[in-house]
Amino acid sequence: MFTGIVQTTAQILGSTPTATGRRLTVERGGLRGAVQHGDSICVSGVCLTAIEITEDQLGFDVIHETLSKTTIGSLDVGDKVNLEPAVTPNQPLGGHFMQGHVDGLAVVDTIHSDDGEWRITFKPADGATGLMGCIIPRGSVAIEGVSLTLARVGEDSFDVALIPATLELTTLGGLQAGDHVNIEADILAKTVVHQLHRMRSGESTDKPTVTMDLLREAGFLE
């Protein structure tokens, strides 16, 4: 589990093919604390397992599935990523709970940086069906591993407003129109939406199907 509070940005040092995907080598940058073999590290929103560890580098084996469905697959040597170690019980929860499981990609539509405000509008990328259904007004969303609050939610797009510290300390300050980003919706919203879909379709055998009568009996309707 992660919180979306990026600890450091780091440069990609190597990306070499393997039998199952690619070995990604990343500098440790300002990543604090000891990293053990097998530890989970959030790399720009993707939970990866540390396989090769040196004093100044981390190596991750990334499978084809992850490469094809996240921005990790388009990274080149020299690109920067956001890094966050897994949260510990004695650590402040400054963001929101994240799994590092990307729900889909979004595309930077527009960037508004006038009047002292930096606001970015995103639209789901092709193939990211159902993503908007889990984007909740004033809820939380992880973009490239950064915990953010949604400033606006439309039918096919959403906005986030970024403070100067986020622009400076994460890779989001370098985004341009047309760039793709990893999106992880809030785990609570995803769970509720998934269960409601099951109930409405009758797939759930342990819960009644959602009907107008059921909502009325529960006090949601008059």
Kindly report, as residue ranges, where domains of CATH 2.40.30.20 are found in the chain.
8-85, 104-185
For the ranges 48-57, 98-107, 127-136, the lowest mean pLDDT is seen at 127-136
Fold classification of 104-185 (topology level): Elongation Factor Tu (Ef-tu); domain 3 (2.40.30)
Tell me what pLDDT residue 45 has: 98
Query: Kind of pairing, strands 57-63 and 118-124?
Result: unpaired
pTM for the full predicted model: 0.87
pLDDT at 84 over 70: yes
* Mean pLDDT, residues 6-29: 96
CA torsion angle 42 45 46 47 (round to 10) = 30
Distance CA 78, CA 27 (A): 10
Tell me what pLDDT residue 205 has: 54
One-letter amino acid for residue 190 of the chain: K
Closest by CA to 2, choosing from 131, 142, 162, 151, is 142
Instruction: Indicate left, alpha or beta for 33 from its phi (over 0: left) and psi (-120 to 50: alpha).
Output: left
What distance, in Å, lies between the first and last C-alpha atoms of the chain? 41
pLDDT tens readout for residues 23-37: 999 999 889 888 999
pLDDT at 116 over 80: no
Tell me what pLDDT residue 208 has: 57
Fold classification of 8-85 (topology level): Elongation Factor Tu (Ef-tu); domain 3 (2.40.30)
* Mean pLDDT, residues 50-56: 94
